[in-house]
Structure 1
Amino acid sequence: DPALENAIVDAISHLRAFNEQLLERASDWQMEIENGLTAGEKITPISSVGLFVPSGKASYPSVAYQLGVPAVVAGVKNICLVVPPVPGGNGEVDPAVLVVCRLLGITNVFRINGPAGIAALGFGTETIPKVRKVVGPGSPAVTLAQVEMQRHGLATMMLLGPTESLVLADHTAHVGRLASDLLIEAEHGTDSSVVFVTNSEALIDAVEEELQIQLADLPPVRAEACRASLGPNGGAVLVASLNEAVDVANMYAPEHCQVAVDAQYEDQVVDAIINAGEILIGQHTPFSAGNFLIGCPASLPTSGFAHVSSGITVDTFLKRTAIARANEPALRRMSESIITLADHEGFPAHSNAIRRRFQA
C-alpha cells in the first residue's frame, strides 16, 4: 500500500529529527573540578537491543518505528526485532512491520510469540542472538517475562502496561473534539483507562452526551473497549479549579496527557504538570497525532511510572561512562581526605594505595 508506506516514511522522518536533536544534546563533556583534576562523561550506544513489537490484539507497525528509530539513531550495532504473527492469520507477520524494518535497515527480524520472544532475546538461541536490553509494550504475560528475565541479566527500561490517558479541559474546550480525543486511547482495549478532569460540570454533561453519539460510530469491539476505559477503568473528575486539576493529573501521572484550556492559562497549566509521559497542548494536538506521527516518544511509562521515568527515545539506547584524570599535585591535595574516608570505612588497601605514593 503506497499510502501506508508514505505515512510510515513521514513518521520516521519526524522521529529521526526528534531523536537526532536529543543525540546532539547528549554529547561528551568534561570540566575541571579543581586545579589538575578533570572529570566528565563519554556517551556511547549500548551494544545490542531487542525490540518487541506486539501483535496480540492487532498489528502495530507504529510501535516498530517508535522503538526502531531511536535505536538506529543511537548507533546500536546489533538490533533484533521480534514480532508475533498477526492475529487471525496463517502465521504471517504484518508486511507493514517488515517495511519499517527495511526502511530502518533492521535485518534481524524474528517471528515469535511474546514471552518466548523475550526469553529468546535474553538467553539467545541457535537463530536468535542474545541481547543486553529489551524494550517494547505487550500483554501482562510479556511484561512478566521482561520482569523475570531481569533475574538473568536482561535489562529493560520500564514496564509498558495497558494504555491510559488524561484530558484536562475547561469550559473553552470544543465538546466534539473533547469526546473524540477521549475515545482515542479508550479504544485500545477493555483494560485501558481514560480520565477526564475539568472544573466545569456543564462540560462533563455535554461531553457525556456527545460520547454516546460518537460511540455509535465505532465497531462493537472498539465501543466495548471505550465503555470500559471511560467507565469502570476511568471516568470524569470534577474539580474546583485548574490548580486542583493539575494536582489530580500529577497524582495520576498519566501515560498520555492533553491540556485543552483557555490559551491564557495554557503555559501555567503545562508548567505545573510534572508527572506525565507526554503533554499535548491544545485541541489541534490529539493523542492520535502523538501516537503515529509527531515524533515525540509514544512508548511511554504507564501505571504511575511517569512519576519516575520517561518515554523511549535515543537516550534509552545510550549509556554514560564517567571519565576522570588527576595529576600528582591534585592527588596529593586530595590524599588526606581519601585516607580519612577509607580508614573510616575500613578499607586499608584503599588508603595504603595513597599513603605509599606519598611516603617520604
Structure 2
Amino acid sequence: MTAIIVWQEAGEMERRRLMARGGASAPDAELVESVADLVQRVRLRGDEALVEALHRFHCVRAELRIGPEELQAAGNGLDDGLKQAIRVSIAQVRAFNEIALARSAWRAEIDGVGLGEVTRPIESVGLYVPCGKGSFPSVLIMVATPAVVAGVGRIALVVPPGVDGGVDPAVLFAAHELGLTEVYRSNGPAGIAALACGTATIPAVRKLVGPGSPAVTLAMAEARRLGCVVEAGFGPTDSLIVCDGSADPRLLAADLLNEAEHGLDSAAVLVGIDLQVLKRAAAEVSAQIADLPGPRRDYAEASVRANGGIVLARSREEAMAIANAYAPEHLQLAVEDPEMWLPLVRHAGTVLLGQWTTPSASNFAIGTPATLPTSGFAKVVSGVSVHTYLTRIPVAQLDKDAFWRLAPTITALAEHEGFPAHAATVTVRQN
C-alpha cells in the first residue's frame, strides 16, 4: 500500500522529491543534439527533410498536407457517441472562451484620463497535437477552439501518424468540426521546425502552442531560438488533490489515478488533513491501480508511488501551502466547503471545486482550459485559452485639463532622462 508522508516529519530529500515530481533531470544530451540537427535539416532542406523524418521515425510515405476530402471523410468510421462527445466538448470550450473574449476589452475614465485595452487576434499560430501514448482529440479541442474563437487569421495543425501510419480520424473529425483546413501529417519535432521556419508546403507561423514529448519540447526550444513565440510550460501531466474528513476515499483514489495513468513521467499527489481518510484512500489507490490494464497500471503506480505520494498535513493552511508550493496542473479541492478554501489558492493551472468536479470532466467536457502549465509553471503562466491568441493593446485619451495636470510629470521625467523632444511636446502647447 502507498505510504503516507507526514509532512512535518518528512526530510528535505523527501520533500524535494515530491516537489520535483520524482526528480528533475536534464534532457539527454544525445536527444538534444539529435533534435537540434533535425530542426537544422528542416530549416535548410524544407519538405525533403520532413518527408525523410516521416519515413525514418514513422515508416510512412504520404502527402504532408491532409486534403479536404480526408478531413470531411474522417467521421465516417467513428462511433456516433464519440462524434457527439467531440461536438459537445467543442461547444463547452467555445462557450467558456466566448465569455472570456467578451470580457477581455475594457474602458474607464479616471480624473479626465481615458484608459482601456482593446484586444486583437494574432496573425497565425501552429498547433501541435501529440499521438504517442494514445489518441488525443481532446487536446486539439482545447488548443484549437480558443484560437477559432479569438479569430486567429491562420491556424496550422501538425499531427504525427499513429503506430499504424494513419492520422487519428477522431482528431481529423474534430479539426473538420472546428473548420480547420490547414492540417499536416508530420513527425513531431520536424513538424515543429517546419512551422517555425517555413517550407514549401508548410508556411511559417508566428506562435506555437501544444503539449508534446521531450523531443517536441526540445524542438520548440529550438523554434524559440529561431524567433518563433512558443507557449511554454506543457510537460508531463501532474495533479494534486486536497481533502478533508468529508471526502469519499473511493472517489479520491479514482480522481488521483485520473491523471496518474497518463505516463511513467506523470505525477499525482493527495494531501489531506484527516489521517483515517488518507489511510482508506491509500488502500483504495492500491486496489484501483491493480484493476487498471497495462501499461496504464504501470503508469499509475509510477505516478503515485515514485513521482507523487499521499501526504498528511496538520491543518488547512499547511495543506494549501503544500499545494501552492507544488503549483499543480490540476488542483481538486475535495473538501466540505470548497469556496472557503478557494481564497487560499495561489498557484494552480486549474481549480476543481468538490468531488463532483472531476479531472476527467475538466479534461473533456466542462470547457475550462485543460491544456495547462505543468511542472510548477502554474506559478508564472496560465493555461491555453482565448487570451493565448490575443494581443492586448492599451488605449488612452487625455482631455486638455488632464494633459496640463500631468504636464509637470512629463517635463520633470523628460529632463531627468535627457529627452528634450519629449519635454518639447509640453512647451510647444504652452505657446
Other-structure match for 1:43? 119
2:407 to 335, 353, 357: 335
User: CA contact under 8 A between 2:208 and 2:229: conserved in structure 1?
Assistant: yes
CA contact (8 A) 2:369 2:385 kept: yes
Deviations 1:189-235 (A, max 9, x none): 01001001011222222222222221222112111111110012010
CA contact (8 A) 2:339 2:353 kept: no
| Structure 2 counterparts to residues 1-360 of structure 1, below 5 A | 1-27=79-105, 29-35=106-112, 37-86=113-162, 88-90=163-165, 92-261=166-335, 263=336, 265-327=337-399, 330-358=402-430, 360=431
SS in 2 for 1:257: strand
Report deviation, 1:332: 4.3
The amino acid that maps onto 2:159 is V
The size of the alignment, in residue pairs, is 353
Partners of 1:30 and 1:313 in 2: how far apart? 22
Contact 2:206 2:228 in 1 (8 A): yes
Rounded to whole Å, the distance in 2 between the matches of 1:332 and 1:234 is 60
- Distance, in Å, in 1 between the alignment partners of 2:246 and 2:363 is 25
CA change 1:329–1:257 in 2 (3 A) is: closer
- Residues 240-288 of structure 1: CA distance to partner in whole angstroms, max 9, x if unpaired? 1222111111111100011112x2x322112211211111122222111
**In 1, are the aligned partners of 2:124 and 2:153 still within 8 Å (CA)?**
yes
Is the contact made by 2:320 and 2:345 (CA closer than 8 Å) also made in structure 1? yes
Tell me, yes or no, if the aligned pair for 2:196 and 2:205 is still in contact at 8 Å.
yes
Contact 1:146–1:156 (8 Å) recurs in 2: yes
Deviations 1:53-97 (A, max 9, x none): 0112212110000011101011112111111111x212x110101
CA contact (8 A) 2:233 2:381 kept: no
User: How much does 1:308 deviate?
Assistant: 2.0
Once residues 348 and 62 of structure 1 are traced to their aligned partners in structure 2, the CA distance between those partners, rounded to angstroms, is: 56
Deviation sequence 1:99-148 (CA, Å, 0-9, x none): 01110000000111222122211111111121111111111222222223
Distance 1:353 1:201, change over 3 A: same
Q: Which whole-Å CA distance do the structure 2 matches of 1:40 and 1:207 have between them?
A: 50
1:357, distance to aligned residue in structure 2 (A): 4.3
Q: 1:329 to 1:267 in 2, by over 3 A?
A: closer
Question: 1: distance between equivalents of 2:355 and 2:404?
Answer: 62
Deviation per residue, 1:23-49 (Å, 9 max, x gap): 11113x3333444x4332221111111
Distance in 2, Cα, partners of 1:187 & 1:333: 61
C-alpha distance in 1 between matches for 2:215 and 2:198:
19
Distance 1:244 1:49 in 2: 41
Q: Contact (CA 8 Å) 2:125, 2:208: kept in 1 or not?
A: yes
Quick one: which amino acid aligns to residue 210 of structure 2?
G
TM-score (norm 1): 0.93
Which segments of 5 or more consecutive residues in structure 1 lack a partner in the other structure?
A: none
The AA in structure 1 aligned to 2:133 is K
Q: CA 1:201–1:45 in 2, change beyond 3 Å: closer, same or farther?
A: same
Cα 1:273–1:330 change in 2 (3 A) is closer
Distance 2:345 2:98 in 1: 26
SS in 1 for 2:395: strand
Q: Summarize deviations over 1:307-349 as a string: whole Å, max 9, x none.
A: 1221111111111112223455544443332122111112233
Segments of 5+ residues of structure 2 without an aligned counterpart are 1-78
Distance in 1, matches of 2:226 and 2:419, equals 31
**Greater mean alpha carbon deviation, residues 172-181 or residues 346-355:** 346-355
Secondary structure, counterpart of 2:391 in structure 1: strand
Q: 2: CA distance between counterparts of 1:355 and 1:237? A: 66
Query: Secondary structure of 1:127's partner?
Result: coil
Distance 2:277 2:107 in 1: 53
Q: Structure 1 residues 292 and 327 mapped into 2: Cα distance closer, same or farther (>3 Å)?
A: same
Structure 1 CA distance for aligned equivalents of residues 421 and 164 of structure 2: 64
Over the aligned positions, Cα root-mean-square deviation in angstroms equals 1.6
Match for residue 14 of structure 2?
none
Q: What CA distance in whole angstroms lies between the structure 1 residues aligned with 2:315 and 2:111?
A: 50
Q: What SS is found at the alignment partner of 1:131? A: coil
Does the aligned pair in 2 maintain the 1:49–1:76 contact within 8 Å? Answer: yes
